[in-house]
Amino acid sequence: MASHVVGYPRMGPKRELKFALESFWDGKSSAADLEKVAADLRSSIWKQMADTGIKYIPSNTFSYYDQVLDTTAMLGAVPPRYGWNGGEIGFDTYFSMARGNASVPAMEMTKWFDTNYHYIVPELGPEVKFSYASHKAVNEYKEAKALGVDTVPILVGPVSYLLLSKPAKGVGKAFSLLSLLDKILPIYKEVVCELKAAGASWIQFDEPTLVMDLDSDRLQAFSQAYSALESTLSGLNVLIETYFADVPKEAYKVLTSLKGVTGFGFDLVRGTKTLDLIKGGFPTGKYLFAGVVDGRNIWANDLASSLSTLQGLEAIVGKDKLVVSTSCSLQHTAVDLVNEPKLDKEIKSWLAFAAQKVVEVNALAKALAGQKDEEFFSANAAAQASRKSSPRVTNEAVQKAAAALKGSDHRRATNVSARLDAQQKKLNLPVLPTTTIGSFPQTMELRRVRREYKAKKMSEDEYVAAIKEEIKKVVQLQEELDIDVLVHGEPERNDMVEYFGEQLSGFAFTANGWVQSYGSRCVKPPIIYGDVSRPKPMTVFWSTTAQSMTSRPMKGMLTGPVTILNWSFVRNDQPRFETCYQIALAIKDEVEDLEKAGINVIQIDEAALREGLPLRKSEHTFYLDWAVHSFRITNCGVKDTTQIHTHMCYSHFNDIIHSIIDMDADVITIENSRSDEKLLSVFREGVRYGAGIGPGVYDIHSPRIPSTEEIADRINKMLAVLETNILWVNPDCGLKTRKYAEVKPALSNMVAAAKLLRTQLASAK
C-alpha cells in the first residue's frame, strides 16, 4: 500500500529560511548563501520522507515566497513595471514582484483560500507574452534525484492558476482570464517534457479551485486544458490534487473524466461529503489519493477511524489503487513535535505536527498492507481516549455562559450615527483623523528584552521598565508626527494572537510551532484544547500606562474572537462557533475593563474574519451570522461615548460588505492600497456606509515609502465615494515588520497628506 504527502513546511524547524531570506534582503548575505540554506532544507525534507517510507514524495513545493508567484515566474508573466527583459527570472525580479522596490509597488497579496497563508496575485491581460522563464520545478526534481530520491514534481494547475489571477490594471471588463489558457499551455508542455526527459514518472497538478462554486464554462476549462495536455503527458502518471473542501458533484464528474489523468487526490478531512461521491462511482483503474491525515491542524489522527475509512475505500477502488495521503500540504501546520520539549506531556500526546503526520500516513499505509504496528495504534487510541476524558478540556461555567448567549443579537442600544456624534464631542478629532493600526517596528533590542524576560534572565521590574521606555518612545514619535489617535505600539507582544492566548485558559503554546504566513513572515498559532475564559485583565495595565503619557486618545488594542479562532489551531471536538462564542465572552470582559479604566477608543481587530469564510456560498450565511455575532458580543455593553474600532486586512471584502456593516463597529480600518483599491468599488456601486472608515492609504508589507502626493491622491479617490466626516487616514496594516527608517517618513507623509486635504476642504467651503 502506497503513501503520499501533498506538500511540506518550507521554513525549516527553526525558521532557517526566514532568517536566510531576511539576511539576503538586508544585504547581509549573498544569493549563494540563501540558495545553500534552501538546498539544505530541501535535502533534509526529502530524506526524512524517504526514510519514513513515503512512496510519493513531493518536489517543487519549496518556495522563496509562494507557489503561485513561482508559477508566475515559470510562465514569465512579469508585469511591465518591473523592467524584466526576458531570460531566467532571478531574485531581483522575483522579490520585486513580491515586496516591491524603491521605485515600484509590489503586486497584490491575498489569502490562499480560507487559510492564513497568502499568495501574490498574478496580473494578467491579453497583451501578456508568456515564456518559460523559471526552470525551478525541473531543477528541484533533478536535485532530489541526485540525492537518490525520486519525487513527484508539483505544479499549480493551469486552470487554477488563471482562476486565482486578476485582470491587470486597465484591462477591459469583457476580458476573461480563461481566454489565456491556450497561451499558457505551451509553457506547461515544455515543463512536462523536461520533467519526462529528467526521468519523472509521476507529476502532480494542484487544482484546488475545483472545490469552489464553478459555473459550466469554468468547469469546461479543466476538460479543455487536460485534453490539450494529454499527448504531452503520455508516458507519465498524472495526479490531480484538490483540497480544503468537498468537491461539488458536477466538478467531481468533470474531474474524474479528465483525459490522461492517472489519479485523483481528495481532502477527506474537510471534504467528507466527497466520500459519498466516491462511493457512488469512481473510475475503474484509476488511483485514489485519500487525504485522511489533516494537513491543517495539529491533532493526532484517529488512526482507527481513518483505517476504517480507508478499508471502505479499498473495497471500491481496489487494494493496488488506493494511496494514503495528507488532506492538503503540511505547510499549514507546525514542523516537528521533537522541538517542543517543554510542552505539557498530556497535551503533547494529543498532537501531531508535520513530521508526525508523515509517520501517521505511512503507518496507515502499512496497516492497510497487513503490516499494522499494533503498539503505535494502541498508543494512538490511548491518546484519543485521554483527550476525550481529560477534565482540563471542560469548564461547565464557560459552557453555561456561552449557551446563555442564544436568544439575543447583542447590538448596542444606539445607532452608529448618534454614537459618532457623542464620540466626537468627547474626542474632538479633526476632519480626516489620522491613526495607525496598532503595532510599531519590532526592533532587535525589543526582541532581546522579550526573549530574556521569557528565559528568566531579566526580572519583571526590569522588563516592565524596558517596555514602558519603548511605549514612551512610540508615543513621543506619534506626537511629533502629529497623529491624532495614538497606539502604544504593542512592544509587549510578539504576536497578536499568541499574546492573548497566553493569558486565556484553554490555550497551550509551543516553542517552535511556527507556520509560514507569507514570504519570511511566520506565526506561531496557539492551540485551543479546551473551554476558553479570561482569568484576569490582559491589556489594561499597558493601555492605561500609555494613556498616562499623552493627552491624545490612546487606543486599547485587542484581537477579536473570530481572528483568535481563525489564527489558532482549534479543537476539533466541538463546533468552531461554540469556541468562538467562548472567546467573545472573554474579550467582552476585557473591553469593559478597558472602558472602566478610562480608555475611550478600543480597537478589536478582526483581521481574519473574511479568511474564515467557507469556500462554498451555501455555507456563507451560517458562518457570517455567528462570526459577526461574536464580534458584537465583545462590545455590546459599552457606553455611546466609547469608540469601537476594528481592523481587517489582506482579503476580498466586497462580497461581505453587508456583514461588515452588520458588525456595527464605530470605525473600521481596512486594507485597500495593495489590492488596487478594489474596496472602493463597492462604494462606487452604491453601498451606503455610515460608520467611520479608514481604507489603508499605503502598503506596509513593502519597504517602499510613498510620497505625500501619492497618499493625497489616494485620499481624494476615497473622498469621491465616501463622506468627508466618516473618512479616517491610516496605513493598510500594523507596522511591526517594518524598520523605523521606513515608518517615520511614510507616516510623516501620511499626516502631511491629511493636512493638505484638510486645508483644501476648508478652502472649498
In the chain, the amino acid numbered 631 is F
Q: Is 193 labelled as part of a ligand binding site?
A: no
How far apart CA 289 and CA 127 sit, in angstroms, is: 38
C-alpha triplet 625, 627, 632: angle, nearest 5°:
90
- E strands within 474-600? 505-508, 515-518, 521-523, 527-533, 555-559, 569-570
Q: Is 605 labelled as part of a ligand binding site?
A: yes
Q: Is 361 helix (H, G, I), strand (E, B) or coil?
A: helix
- Alpha helix locations (H) across 338-459? 345-349, 354-368, 374-389, 396-403, 416-427, 444-454
Q: Is 654 labelled as part of a ligand binding site?
A: no
Q: What is the CA radius of gyration of the chain?
A: 26
How far apart CA 493 and CA 317 sit, in angstroms, is: 51
Q: Is 490 labelled as part of a ligand binding site?
A: yes
Q: Is 452 labelled as part of a ligand binding site?
A: no
Q: Is 512 labelled as part of a ligand binding site?
A: no
Three cell numbers at 300? 493526532
Q: Is 270 labelled as part of a ligand binding site?
A: no
- Alpha helix locations (H) across 134-261? 136-146, 158-163, 181-198, 216-233, 249-255
How far apart CA 353 and CA 491 sit, in angstroms, is: 30
**Can you state the percent helix, strand and coil of the chain, rounding each to 5?**
45, 15, 40
Q: Is 760 helix (H, G, I), strand (E, B) or coil?
A: helix
Q: Is 693 labelled as part of a ligand binding site?
A: no
Three cell numbers at 65? 515566497
Q: Is 261 helix (H, G, I), strand (E, B) or coil?
A: coil
Q: Is 521 labelled as part of a ligand binding site?
A: yes
Q: Is 629 labelled as part of a ligand binding site?
A: no
Q: Is 658 labelled as part of a ligand binding site?
A: yes
How far apart CA 597 and CA 593 sit, in angstroms, is: 6
Residue 352 burial by CB count (10 A; 0-12/13-18/19+): exposed, middle or buried?
buried
The question of whether 488 is a catalytic residue gets the answer no
Paired with 499 in beta bridges are none
Query: For residue 553, what are the contacts with CB-CB under 8 A and spacing of at least 6?
Result: 427, 429, 484, 485, 486, 600, 601
Q: Are the C-beta atoms of 57 and 151 separated by less than 8 Å? A: yes
How far is residue 263 CA from its own chain's centroid?
A: 29
Of residues 345, 282, 338, 344, the one with CA closest to residue 315 = 282
How far apart CA 263 and CA 208 sit, in angstroms, is: 15
Query: For residue 152, what are the contacts with CB-CB under 8 A and spacing of at least 6?
Result: 4, 56, 57, 58, 59, 200, 202, 203, 204, 239
C-alpha triplet 669, 673, 676: angle, nearest 5°:
130
Q: Is 83 labelled as part of a ligand binding site?
A: no
Three cell numbers at 351? 498532537
- E strands within 18-69? 57-59
Three cell numbers at 541? 495595565
Please pick, among 118, 488, 629, 701, the residue that the annotation labels catalytic. 701
How far apart CA 516 and CA 12 sit, in angstroms, is: 10
Q: Is 527 labelled as part of a ligand binding site?
A: no
Q: Is 671 labelled as part of a ligand binding site?
A: yes
Residue 636 burial by CB count (10 A; 0-12/13-18/19+): exposed, middle or buried?
buried
> Known binding site for 5-methyltetrahydropteroyltri-L-glutamate: residues?
18, 116, 521-522, 567
Catalytically active residues are: 701
> Known binding site for L-methionine: residues?
437-439, 490, 605
> Known binding site for Zn(2+): residues?
647, 649, 658, 662, 671, 733
> Known binding site: residues?
18, 116, 437-439, 490, 521-522, 567, 605, 647, 649, 658, 662, 671, 733
